Structure 1
């Protein structure tokens, strides 16, 4: 199924499910043609130039609907995508040096903390791909926009299409963002070196990307995974203040990417893009920069997240399939039943660095209701 398309100045990008069906194994572009027009038999067809995961690129004619033909099978893929004139994100504030993009689903109560924190350290614009939220997300976005934050949402309904959404953002936001940071709403980037700063600065992240090297195209940052940290429900002061116990070793990396450096295929895997020839990726140690991933939260929060992740991966999420998948949390099993001792799981290191830093920067405390409300707003 062709589920979305994006038109650039030079070509059309299709997002297609069910063609490149295995991760890392992509069929050759010559096996396909893009099909434009309502007549799938006699419609205008153009060559596909790249075929990576769910992303296909081809030259564009001046027509209205678009699909994909599998040449050897003489078959046109069903489509609900419409070809339009080039759609790009617009900005009244000029081109931003650093933006952040993420896929979201029912994160309204988490969004404010994430946006406020990252805007204070250098993110100028936020691009949210809404995966079908039903928690009145737009109301939270509108409130933040009224407060002066630059936030845009793009409706992206299809499950398990995070990489494709990131590929979309690499074109959609290219004219208004130079660098894009790809983080989830439960992830917060910071540097241990910031402990020396008495207050946040919007230039804290900028030295990372204002490198003297003209060939720097991507920065890779490792993650620390935090556990429930004795919490039984969502902490009123937010995730940074509420969760302070994590696993010892870092896990998957996240990236900040120069959009001009991304390969034409738009291929990305786990927040990491393939780059054009000549550009390089710089990997940072956790001593210089790290992402706090508040992954295993209080049980009511994690239960909802777990069910959605697994149900998107298998037809019946209670089936004992793919036990080693990253969508199967260690020790959780196959049922939405709170494991014994959940509040204390995944706790190997007490890590208060970001908690203490934001406490000092923002003056957050349980006893200071005014500042607490300011942080929550």
Structure 2
């Protein structure tokens, strides 16, 4: 059969800015109320550019992105109409952003990366403070091993509703402070040049070229706060639309043992009794204290960096 397909040269990201050392990519749908906090926080700790794959959001997402861009944050949006194709989107990002980003961090908008050692910091990070970038291998260290590090894995702690019945106006890092005891899954920061030509990934990590290796870090070095089980009004949205490919539809009895499912929740978008108290095994307010300290310092300095309110 003759084909009507034709080749269009690959369009890379704009390259008039210097290549960023560290970028972050995520796939979203209707996250306008969460995005500002997520962007401002991760920008503060070292992310230089954000590549956002939008599943055709119909809230105020683009308005929030426009405002953040006008405030100086470097955000690139990619219209990605296909839901539940997060692996494909992340594979796309490894090529799409390769000319503008050296390392790419793949996390969701309800996930915040931090190092426990930062909690002891009495000062907000300076503009030249490496913070998140300190988790990346140093240039001279990369070549001290025949197989340099091409991927850093950071484990996740899953937070529960923390007695919240609606979205906390002060933001997720302030409103959710109770989590499960055991960590679950991990997220990755990937050297784009190290990704295997197959672009194979499992959302949380990539297959690397044989000449590179992956380095896991301990929970004492860095951790992802995953605010997974939020107030029911927010969490129930996940029943209607899932980005992840692991659970095709929350309302169907498929893959019941998946770690993406809420334990004991079943297959219906019906609020369980006592939802606001579930998944609360450990009180963990480290990131709350850290961001509050930074916010108070900025407020005293008169800059008004109110990242907490979406």
TM-score, length-scaled by structure 1: 0.74
Partners of 1:317 and 1:247 lie apart in 2 by 21
Is the CA contact (8 Å cut-off) linking 1:221 and 1:255 kept in structure 2? yes
Higher relative contact order (CA 8 A, sep 6+): 2
Q: Which residue of 1 aligns with 2:86?
A: 162
1:336 to 2:269 alignment: yes
Partners of 2:249 and 2:133 lie apart in 1 by 45
The structure 2 residue matched to 1:203, chosen from 130, 138, 142, is 130
Q: Which residue of 1 aligns with 2:300?
A: none
Question: Which has more strand, going by share of residues?
Answer: 1
1:213 to 2:142 alignment: yes
RMSD between aligned residues: 2.3
The Cα shift of 1:174 comes to: 0.2
Worse-matched range after superposition: 313-322 or 208-217: 313-322
Partners of 1:347 and 1:371 lie apart in 2 by 33
Q: Deviations over 1:53-105 (max 9, x none)?
A: xxxxxxxxxxx725xxxxxxxxxxxxxxxx31111111332100000000111
Is the CA contact (8 Å cut-off) linking 2:26 and 2:106 kept in structure 1? yes
Partners of 1:372 and 1:262 lie apart in 2 by 36
Partners of 1:315 and 1:95 lie apart in 2 by 36
The Cα shift of 1:319 comes to: 4.0
* SS in structure 2 of the partner of residue 273 of structure 1: coil
Q: Which residue of 2 aligns with 1:186?
A: 110
Partners of 1:133 and 1:228 lie apart in 2 by 24
Q: Deviations over 1:7-58 (max 9, x none)?
A: xxxxxxxxxxxxxxxxxxxxxxxxxxxxxxxxxx134xxxxxxxxxxxxxxx
The Cα shift of 1:157 comes to: 0.9
Is the CA contact (8 Å cut-off) linking 2:84 and 2:244 kept in structure 1? no
Would the alpha carbon gap of residues 310 and 42 (structure 1) be closer, same or farther in structure 2, given more than 3 Å must change? closer
The Cα shift of 1:235 comes to: 0.3
The Cα shift of 1:249 comes to: 1.0
Q: How does 1:1-377 map to 2 (within 5 A)?
A: 41-43=1-3, 65=5, 83-197=7-121, 198-201=123-126, 202-211=129-138, 212-214=141-143, 215-309=148-242, 318-363=251-296, 373=306, 375-376=308-309
Partners of 1:119 and 1:84 lie apart in 2 by 33
| Contiguous gaps of at least 5 residues in structure 2 | 298-302
Would the alpha carbon gap of residues 149 and 134 (structure 1) be closer, same or farther in structure 2, given more than 3 Å must change? same
Return structure 1 stretches of 4+ with deviation > 6 angstroms: 310-316
The Cα shift of 1:323 comes to: 2.4
The Cα shift of 1:153 comes to: 0.4
